[in-house]
Structure 1
Amino acid sequence: MQTASTNICERMDHSQELSEFKHGTVIGCHLCNKSICEISLLLNIPRSTVSGIITKCKQLGHSNSATKW
């Protein structure tokens, strides 16, 4: 049985923001040709979040995207 504290750590709350490190990791995985689903499973974040980060990255350009978060 999981306690509330481990459950919170394992799942991303809708209001919780990702760290700069996780944003960079998503972008790095994308640049290494990982699929949205693979990135989502690897980092335990929703596919919609991964997709949004990748979309924003494409709009801003890869070199500028990490500094815009």
Structure 2
Amino acid sequence: MTGRGQRMLKGTVRRSHQLSAESIAKDLQTWCGLQMSPTTVCRELHGMGFHGRAAASKPYITKCNAKRGMPWCKAHRHWTLEQWRFVQWRDQSCFSVWQSDGCLLNWLLPGEQ
């Protein structure tokens, strides 16, 4: 891959972290005529230091839960770190962050979130 192609690939990923390898390959084909397979795209991104990470999935908050949660938040907004250490956090969500088309992956450099 040429230096120009690598710059185009890096710029594409920088603009949108959530593109799948397939869509990045199609974009490079359209914009600069580079014929690449999704596997090559992944290999080149790994060589540049990018790695695919599962995107953080956030559950939806209903209006009812938002109404009930606001008084609780206001009552606890002045808590210290020491008080928060005694809270037992539980996650009882049952959902999957993986999809077969890979659209929920973020391409990030080490140290990025």
Structure with the higher strand share, 1 or 2: 2
Structure with the higher helix share, 1 or 2: 1
